[in-house]
Structure 1
Amino acid sequence: MINYNGKIVSPKEASLSIDNRGYQYGDALFETLRVINGKIMFWEDHYFRLMASMRILRMEIPMSFSPEFLEEEILNCVKENHLENDSARVKINVHRLPGGLYLPQQREIGYLITVSSLQSPFYIENESAHEVELFKDHYVNSGLLSTLKSNNRIINVLGSIFAEENGYDNCLLLNEKKSVVEALNGNIFLVKGDVIKTPPLSDGCLNGIIRKNLISIIGKLEDWDLKEESISPFELQKADEIFITNSIVGIQSITKYRKKEYVSAKANNLRAKLNTHARLG
């Protein structure tokens, strides 16, 4: 079951118009989050990111879209899918209502909430190999729009096809300045000694929820030094660790890039702290 503009319906009943602006122009946003035993992980961060993104795209935010209202809408949908006592992946799609060409006739929005099950209530270590390569066919444009979770993910789609065709598990994306920005499915952190680097938002990386929370966690650790700085491709093979973060997997360690193989000690340490932070948040 899904939530389609506030109504719980079956997927067959939730047909989108061919004039849907998300389909026609990519005039849409999405938010992906975890729900564990009826609790939305990092809900306040997700909510304010969604509201800020809608404002940036000049969408009309409904007066009803309070944190309490959307939380209830999400949890009702989770319950209708019989996952209120389990782990669930929730995706919220927000699109501007049909009308107009590039210039919309209206600013009002529609929304869709879908739910699927997750295997674990915690962020767990994935011990399988995770080899990456640079995706250099197309670049992410640095700037504000690239930090949003908009429906325009064609670079991620093409990068995923490239990875599959060449036997990689993931790819790292570059911006027009040839700096490493992020992975196909999340933010990246690079570890060298006690220094942990992640690209700044000004480089065009996604304004990720786990990225934000890890920056806060690392900032409180006396022995580790966090830097939000551009990452050159030349730094990748000199790093001790590289890991990817997103709201579903939490932390995914990269095991190999070209001839370089990585350890995952700090990633594992941070994963434990992230799980604790998520439960207390």
Structure 2
Amino acid sequence: MVNFNGKLLQDNVDFLNANNRAVQYGDGLFETIRVVHGKVFFWEEHYFRLMSSMRILRMEIPMDFTMEFLESSILDTIESSGLTERPAKAKLLVFRKPGGLYRPAQNEIDYVITVGGLESPFYTLSEEAYEVELFKDYYLNADMLSNLKTTNKILNVVASVFAKENGYHNCLLLNAKKQVVETTNGNLFLVKGKTIKTPPLSDGCLNGIVRKELLAILESLEGMEVMVDSISPFELQKADELFVTNTVSGIIPITKYRKKTFGAQTSKNLIGKLNARARLG
């Protein structure tokens, strides 16, 4: 089922047209959300990120767009799709109503909720190989718009195609200063000895939900130094571990970059703590 502005529709029903501004101009936002047995993981963080992003893009927030209303809408869509007893993911898209050219005719919004099933109710670590490479054809902008989860993700798309064409599982994205910012599908963490590092938002990385949660977990642990600082490409091959974070997968250990292979001990130490935080959050 698909939820369009509160109406539950069958997946095969046409409800958008060619004037949709997310299609025409990438004028939209989205949140990808993990839901298990009626529990929306990190829902408060997702909600406030969406509200903040809508304000930055000068979208008009409907009066009924409360945390309770959207959570209920997500759960209703999951129930109508027969996924209540399964782990699921929901995608909430928000875009300006049709009209105008680059300058919109209005700032009111439409929204769509789509859902699908997941395999595991918990975050798990894959034991499979996961090789990455730098993507150097195009660069991220180091600004606030890059922190937002907009529907304009063509750089991520092209980098993903590059990865597939060249036999990689993912690509590392750079900004114009040649700093390593993130991957095509999540935030990047680098481990060297007792130091764990992730790029700052000012470098242009996504303001990721699991990134934020892991930083909070790491700050509470003894024996680890946490750094939010720029990462140069030269640091990658000197690292002990690299891993990716996102809402759906949790933590994805990178096993190889060029000639360097990496362990996953830190990922193994953190995955249980992330699951515990997700259940409590």
Q: Scaled by the length of structure 2, what TM-score is found? A: 0.99
Is 1:22–1:96's contact at 8 Å kept on the other side of the alignment? yes
Instruction: Name the counterpart of 1:258.
Output: 258
Instruction: Name the counterpart of 2:114.
Output: 114
**1:165 and 2:130 aligned:** no
Instruction: Name the counterpart of 2:90.
Output: 90
1:197-255 deviation per Cα after TM superposition (whole angstroms, max 9, x unaligned): 00000000000000000000000001111100000000000000000000000000000
Q: Scaled by the length of structure 1, what TM-score is found? A: 0.99
Give the alignment of 1:228-239 within 5 angstroms. 228-239=228-239
Give the distance between the partners of 2:198 and 2:185, measured in 1 at CA.
15
Runs of 4 or more, structure 1, over 4 Å off, are: none
Letter in 1 for 2:244: I
Once the 2 structures are TM-superposed, how far is the Cα of residue 83 of structure 1 from its aligned partner? 1.0
Instruction: Name the counterpart of 2:80.
Output: 80
1:74-99 deviation per Cα after TM superposition (whole angstroms, max 9, x unaligned): 00001001111210010001010001
Instruction: Name the counterpart of 1:203.
Output: 203
**1:133 and 2:133 aligned:** yes
Give the distance between the partners of 1:12 and 1:36, measured in 2 at CA.
25
**1:29 and 2:29 aligned:** yes
Once the 2 structures are TM-superposed, how far is the Cα of residue 14 of structure 1 from its aligned partner? 4.0
State the secondary structure of the residue aligned to 2:82: coil
Once the 2 structures are TM-superposed, how far is the Cα of residue 17 of structure 1 from its aligned partner? 1.7
Instruction: Name the counterpart of 1:148.
Output: 148
Once the 2 structures are TM-superposed, how far is the Cα of residue 13 of structure 1 from its aligned partner? 2.2
State the secondary structure of the residue aligned to 1:267: helix
State the secondary structure of the residue aligned to 1:187: strand
Instruction: Name the counterpart of 1:55.
Output: 55
Letter in 1 for 2:140: V
**1:40 and 2:47 aligned:** no
Instruction: Name the counterpart of 1:277.
Output: 277
**1:105 and 2:114 aligned:** no
Give the distance between the partners of 2:100 and 2:2, measured in 1 at CA.
27
State the secondary structure of the residue aligned to 1:238: coil
Is 1:4–1:14's contact at 8 Å kept on the other side of the alignment? no
Give the distance between the partners of 1:164 and 1:152, measured in 2 at CA.
20
RMSD of aligned Cα (Å)? 0.6
State the secondary structure of the residue aligned to 2:137: strand
Give the distance between the partners of 1:16 and 1:45, measured in 2 at CA.
28
Give the distance between the partners of 2:262 and 2:168, measured in 1 at CA.
16
**1:224 and 2:230 aligned:** no
Q: 5+ residue gaps in structure 1?
A: none
Is 1:255–1:262's contact at 8 Å kept on the other side of the alignment? yes
Letter in 2 for 1:167: G
Once the 2 structures are TM-superposed, how far is the Cα of residue 15 of structure 1 from its aligned partner? 2.2
Is 1:241–1:263's contact at 8 Å kept on the other side of the alignment? yes
Once the 2 structures are TM-superposed, how far is the Cα of residue 58 of structure 1 from its aligned partner? 0.2
Letter in 2 for 1:227: M
Give the distance between the partners of 2:171 and 2:190, measured in 1 at CA.
15
Instruction: Name the counterpart of 1:244.
Output: 244
Letter in 2 for 1:65: F
1:167-213 deviation per Cα after TM superposition (whole angstroms, max 9, x unaligned): 00000000000000000100000000110000000000000000000
Instruction: Pick which of 35-44 and 11-20 moved more.
Output: 11-20
Give the distance between the partners of 2:194 and 2:36, measured in 1 at CA.
32
State the secondary structure of the residue aligned to 1:13: coil
Instruction: Pick which of 6-15 and 270-279 moved more.
Output: 6-15
State the secondary structure of the residue aligned to 2:234: helix
State the secondary structure of the residue aligned to 1:93: strand
